[in-house]
Amino acid sequence: MSILEQMRSGSDSTFMQVVMAAVVISFIGWYAVPDGDRSNVVAVVNGEKILDTEFSRRYTAAVRNMEAMTGRMLSNEEQQALSDQVRMALIEDEVILQEARRIGLEVSDLEVARELLQLQYLRNEKGRFDEELYRLFLKRNQWTRADFEESLREDLLRQKLRSLVYTGASISEPALREAWVDSETRVDLTYVRVRPSAFAQHVEITPEEREAWLAENAALVEETYKRDFERLYNHPEQVRLRMIRLAATTDEAPNVLPKLNELRARIEAGADFGELAKEWSEDPSAVDGGDLGLRPIRQLAAEARTAIEALQPGQVSRVVSTDRDLRLYLLEERVEPTQDPLESVRDQIADQLIRSERGPALAAAFADEELLPRWKETGEVPRELVEAKGLSVMTTGPVAAVSDGSPFGPPPEMMRDARYAKAGEVLPEIYEVDGILWIGQLTERTEADMALYEQRRDEIREGVLAQRRMAFFQGWVDDLEARATIE
């Protein structure tokens, strides 16, 4: 019986615990991080660098998972949002790890070994840890053993700290009852969101007003131009692509590759790429003949950039292979990078800034002097007044009387007032979140079922306590991040 098999069958014995510890030490000793780190820095947390090697690994995995879930390539905006999320997650992980080490938490080599043996994706068809699967996993994800096992140690450290912090969250019987009432009381609101942008677009600006404003605010226009330069006025090289995508795992790729090579040969012989994409591509873009639209080249995946970098418009790429599919690209167009000089957009920027200044005041005046008084007077939404401003009347449907913190839902203060209002009552205030004004009316309220609470009290306690623990931990982490030095 091999050492690993003995570890699997007898890991609870003292002898096997010693063996497991020795194996982990040997794992870490055999493989070292290469000398002379050349990675770029994504962030610095309290002096500790987060390198782009880890960022790239997580970001690539996140993109592939999202594309697998959605069945399509992510848009530029989605890629940027995902990139920001990955960076913030790395910063949060580093903050938690530093705190765990600061308070003296440790993870032994034995604990790392146990965790390694429990990873399902490293087990073979017999359910046993497989050394060959482990080797292939490391190679596919570009890990050394030392790096991967250190990442396991760090994950376990974070888990220990999370468990420790969780003990600080508790709930009393009155608080539990209140939480049940808040979560199970349902309110249905009719509301209007008064957006300053709806008023800003109607602001009239004469040339004389603009020139007078520019004379006083030239520096602000220049500052705005510099701030938004990369996003709005610096237009990078763009390409218009079509794609044929055939799904294939790494193991399936050799069987799928001949088909794509055949399609490539047909295209080079004169076949229409778009028609073949409609017939063969397994990407949602197939319905449009594989058209991916015009995209900044720097926002393409690395493998796509490499595949098209030497192509001229009208040429087809080599077959591009990923862990999940094989792809062909047709380069239809290259658009050279351009820049909008400040002089060409000065008036446009000035108009935007003037409208952004005047819009909130117009919105507030409308909400306070027209909409809310008329609504209270009649007890019904003054729809003609609302629609005349390009606004909409909306309803929440039956929702919990306590705000869930959603950025798209009514403000917490509005939900609080609805919790205690009478059905049909117009709420007393104008509620503001991020410059948007909310005005509403309680249509209906359904009270919590207290008999059900008595029947399920223990189950409810566990659920509410789990939520309290997660919220308590996240608040604690947020405080750590607020006190950390992050660059």
- The pLDDT assigned to 39 comes to 53
- The pLDDT assigned to 438 comes to 95
- The pLDDT assigned to 319 comes to 93
- The pLDDT assigned to 57 comes to 80
Q: Provide DSSP, 435-450.
A: TEEEEEEEEEEE---H
First-to-final CA distance of the chain: 52
- The pLDDT assigned to 51 comes to 85
- The pLDDT assigned to 404 comes to 66
- The pLDDT assigned to 3 comes to 31
Write out the CATH class of domain 237-336. alpha beta
Write out the CATH class of domain 3-166. mainly alpha
CA–CA distance, 180 with 178 (Å, rounded to integer) = 5
User: Domain boundaries in the chain?
Assistant: 3-166, 173-177+451-483, 186-206+354-446, 237-336
- The pLDDT assigned to 62 comes to 87
Low-confidence residues in the chain, pLDDT < 70: 1-39, 404-405
Measuring CA to CA, how many Å separate 224 from each of 158, 201, 205, 231? 41, 19, 19, 11
- The pLDDT assigned to 405 comes to 65
* Single pTM value for the model: 0.51
- The pLDDT assigned to 465 comes to 86
Q: Provide DSSP, 28-45.
A: HHH--PPSS--PPEEEEE
Structure-derived torsion over alpha carbons of residues 384, 385, 388, 393, reported in degrees to the nearest 10:
-80
> Contact, 366 vs 194, CB < 8 A?
yes
- The pLDDT assigned to 266 comes to 94
- Site of tokens 């795992």: 249
Q: What angle do CA 261, 262, 268 make, to 5 degrees?
A: 90
Residue 369 per-residue DSSP state = I
CA–CA distance, 316 with 368 (Å, rounded to integer) = 61
